[in-house]
Chain A
Amino acid sequence: MSSKSLIAACIVLSLLFVTTGAVWFSYSAETLDEVAGQFGIVESRIWNPPFPDYEIPSLRGNVLAGIIVGFVFVMVILGVTFAVGRFLVRTSRM
């Protein structure tokens, strides 16, 4: 198996995880948050994330939008980790 095939296999599995997470194990069904709310513990933010709870703010509850956001960030993390890895290899040669 080449490195490209390994990456492709991981992307397919990631899409499966993202879809499963968005459809059946939605982050928005976060029970810990609900229980915390019952105890009067209010979430306070010092930073407003662009995709709170893995959703697009104007499309809250839209499963497809959640899947797209999740998948886009899978690709972002793939790219960031590649960049960090290349940086580490390059600095080791210096």
Chain B
Amino acid sequence: MYILAVVFWFFSFRKARGLSEKQIPLMASLTAMFFAAQMMNYPIVGGTTAHLLGGPILAITMGPYLGVISMTIILLIQALFFGDGGITTFGANVWNMGIVGTFVPFMIYRLTPHITSTQRGKFAGVFLGALMGDVLAALCAGLELGLSSTFPYGVPIAAAAMVTHHAIIGVGEGVITVGIILALQKARPDLLQLPKLAPSWLGGSWDDVK
């Protein structure tokens, strides 16, 4: 997992050099805000907890490369200062929340308007992207937990538990992501027009999504 994370860090830092000065306040504000949001752990049935990720809004507003960098900052500070997530699991957490949790929402957000071209379709893509980002990140975590020798249950139980519970939080993540996009569209539409730092086949700005 560390190796996969290193590969994505390499490409993210290289591609993120196209960052605009105007994007820095948005990147910093959202990163700080979702660090705070991750402090809210919601107890869910079966002894597990879930929390908002923040990856979807970071990826959709700025592109997944900046999303990876922002999520890495959050996860690194959580691991180093709070023992949350941990050092040995850092690579896995970056993969789950930083890479899957940013690239999946961004891909769905970019591809949904090809199915439906209305404004509602665009927001449906944002919601679905955030939901699926959380669910697939949780699925990855479930697979990793299930394959771990210290976890008493196998992959099916761990994966099912993680996916089911995080589907609930994914709905919340979707609503919050759509809410922030709507607020930005009203208050700072210029920030949504800036090019997203993403693989070229997924790039473009908010208005390019027709």
Contact = CB atoms under 8 A, between A and B. Distances in A.
Given A1-B187, A77-B73, A92-B17, A53 B84 contact: yes
A13 B79 CA distance: 23
Contacts of B36: 13-15, 17-18, 21, 70, 74
Contact of A27 (B31, B47, B84): B84
Interface residues of A, number: 55
A30 B81 contact: no
B28 interface: yes
A89 B28 CA distance: 14
B40 interface: yes
B27 A81 contact: yes
A78 B32 contact: yes
| A interface: dominant SS | helix
Contact of B77 (A27, A32, A80): A80
B32 A84 contact: no
Contacts of B41: 21, 25-27, 29-30
Interface in B45-95: 46-49, 69-70, 73-74, 77, 79-84, 86-88
A40 B146 CA distance: 17
B24 interface: yes
A73 B87 contact: no
Nearest to A75: B32
Interface of B: 13, 16-33, 35-37, 39-43, 46-49, 69-70, 73-74, 77, 79-84, 86-88, 150-152, 187-188
Given A18-B39, A53-B83, 7 more contacts: A14-B37, A21-B40, A24-B40, A53-B82, A77-B32, A88-B19, A91-B17
